[in-house]
A and B are shown apart, each in its own frame.
Chain A
Amino acid sequence: MSKSTKKKPYLRAVLLGALSIASYAYLFSNVDQVMENFVKGGVYSALPIVTALYFSIVYGAFASTVLSIVGLQAAAGSGH
Chain B
Amino acid sequence: MKKWLVILFAALFVSLAFAPSAFAESAPPSNFKIGSFTQVDAASHTATFLASDTGESTTIRLDDSIAPADVKLDDKAMVSFADVDGEQVATEITAMFFGLTKDKLIALLIVGLVGGLLSGFIGSGGAFVLTPAMMSLGAPGAVAVASNMCHKFPKAMVGSYKRFRYGQVDVKLGLVIAGSSIVGVQVGFQIQKWILDTWGSAGSDLYVSVVFVFILVVVGGIVFKDALTAAKKHDEGKTPKLALKLQKIKIPPMIHFKKADVVISAWVTLPVGFATGLLAATIAVGGFIGVPGMVYVVGATAMVASATELLVAFVMGFWGSIQWSMAGLIDIRLVLVILAGSLFGVQLGALGTTYVRDHTIKLVMGTVMLIVAISRGVKVPVYLAHLGMISLDKNVSNLLDDISFWSLIAALLTAGGIIAVAMVKGIVRARSEEREAAVAGSA
B300 within 8 A of A: no
The answer to whether A45 touches B335 (Cβ under 8 A) is no
Report chain B residues within 8 Å CB of A47. Answer: 325, 332
The answer to whether A34 touches B332 (Cβ under 8 A) is yes
Tell me which residues from 31 to 70 in chain A have a Cβ below 8 Å from any Cβ of chain B: 31, 34-35, 38-42, 45-49, 51-53, 55-56, 59-60, 63-64, 66-67
Assuming the A-B contacts A35-B333, A74-B351, A75-B430, are A52 and B151 also in contact, with contact meaning beta carbons closer than 8 angstroms in the complex? yes
The answer to whether B348 touches A72 (Cβ under 8 A) is yes
Assuming the A-B contacts A27-B336, A76-B430, A76-B434, are A48 and B343 also in contact, with contact meaning beta carbons closer than 8 angstroms in the complex? no
Q: Is the interface of B mostly helix, strand, loop or mixed?
A: helix
Give the nearest-CB partner of A43 in chain B: B326
A24 within 8 A of B: yes
The answer to whether B336 touches A72 (Cβ under 8 A) is no
Report chain B residues within 8 Å CB of A64. Answer: 162, 347
The answer to whether B348 touches A67 (Cβ under 8 A) is yes
Interface residues on B, range: 35 or more
Assuming the A-B contacts A49-B321, A52-B154, A75-B426, are A41 and B327 also in contact, with contact meaning beta carbons closer than 8 angstroms in the complex? yes
The answer to whether B154 touches A72 (Cβ under 8 A) is no
Report chain A residues within 8 Å CB of B326. Answer: 41-42, 45
Interface residues on A, range: 35 or more
For the complex, give the distance between the alpha carbons of A72 and B347 in Å: 10
What is the interface of chain A, defined by CB distance below 8 A to chain B?
A: 24, 27-28, 31, 34-35, 38-42, 45-49, 51-53, 55-56, 59-60, 63-64, 66-67, 72-76, 78-80
What is the interface of chain B, defined by CB distance below 8 A to chain A?
A: 34, 52-53, 76, 96-97, 150-151, 153-155, 157-158, 162, 165-167, 318, 321-322, 325-333, 335-336, 339-340, 343-344, 347-348, 350-351, 354-355, 426-427, 430, 434
Q: Which 6 A-B pairs give the minimum distances between C-beta atoms?
A: A56-B154, A39-B328, A45-B325, A78-B354, A75-B354, A74-B354
